[in-house]
Structure 1
Amino acid sequence: MDTLQKINGVPVLMCGTEGETIAGEREALDCIANASYQGADWAVIPVERFDEAFFRLSTRVAGEIIQKFVQYRVGVVVLGDISRHTEAGTALRDFVRECNRGRQTWFVADADELRDRLTGAGA
């Protein structure tokens, strides 16, 4: 179940692990609409909710999904352990590093790391 929370004063939609698999633009737009409706600046989506294709950059799924969040000005956080995906090659590892340098898309291991990122991040 998705719930609205405030983390360090920032409204965040915490998406539950159960729910629709985010496999493309349609599911991303559903999540964006829910976040916007609830007044969230960020959507935090557990890694389990993403289709496996999201983690293979050659499919372009990750780019399409993230672009929708950028377009609608809702930050997106991929929450959880993605090490099995990043160990498979350098492309995803580099992509994650670049995303985490920015202020729109983050890959974080757990809620503590998210809280740290939202502290003073101007999110």
Structure 2
Amino acid sequence: MRITVDQQGNSKVAILESPDTLISDVQSALDLMAAIRYAEGCDKILLDKSNVTEDFFELRTRLAGEILQKFTNYSFQLAIVGDFDGYDSKSLKDFIYESNHGKQVFFLKDRDAALAALHSV
């Protein structure tokens, strides 16, 4: 995994790049948050959709809710970058829409938009 930090003022975003799935369950999300906070001093993470297990995007598994609750509990912001138009689930589309209007989690198409969203919170 390659980590670069984008800093604007006091806001630091850890940008993760990896060919592997980095978040596959709740424990892997917790481990990732701990590693990023310890190694980089960041509480904002940007990663590609391919780094998150597909089960996350199946809301009936409840994995997204469990993982995102941990991000909230530990005061982390998260941006997932990718194309989400291929999902047919209305509930997932509604979830993405609502998330993008909040301050905790963002689902965006490109890195620049994700960085802007994370640096604005």
Fold shared, TM-score > 0.5 on shorter chain: yes
| 2:67 pairs with 1:60 | no
Instruction: Give the conservation status (yes or no) of the 8 Å contact 2:99–2:106.
Output: yes
Work out whether residues 79 and 105 of structure 2, in 8 Å CA contact, stay in contact via their aligned partners in 1.
yes
The 2-side partners of 1:21 and 1:118 are apart by 19
User: Gapped runs of 5+ residues in structure 1?
Assistant: none
Gaps (5+ residues) in structure 2?
Answer: none
Counterpart in the other structure of 2:16 = 15
User: 1:23–1:118: structure 2 CA closer, same or farther, 3 Å change rule?
Assistant: closer
TM-score (norm 2): 0.88
How far is 1:69 from its partner?
Answer: 0.6
The aligned counterpart of 1:78 is 80
Q: TM-score, normalised by structure 1?
A: 0.87
Q: Distance in 1 between matches of 2:28 and 2:107?
A: 19
Distance 1:35 1:101 in 2: 25
Give the aligned CA root-mean-square deviation in angstroms: 1.5
The code of the aligned residue for 1:108 comes to L
The 5 A counterparts of 1:1-123 are 1-6=2-7, 8-9=8-9, 10-37=11-38, 38-85=40-87, 88-118=88-118, 121=120, 123=121
The count of corresponding residues between Structure 1 and Structure 2 is 118
Supply the distance in 2 between the matched residues of 1:27 and 1:74 (Cα, whole angstroms). 15
Shift of 1:109: 0.8
Asked if 2 retains the 8 angstrom alpha-carbon contact of 1:14 and 1:43, the reply is yes
Shift of 1:35: 2.1
Q: Is the CA contact 1:31–1:43 (under 8 Å) kept in the aligned structure 2?
A: no
- Sequence identity, in percent? 32
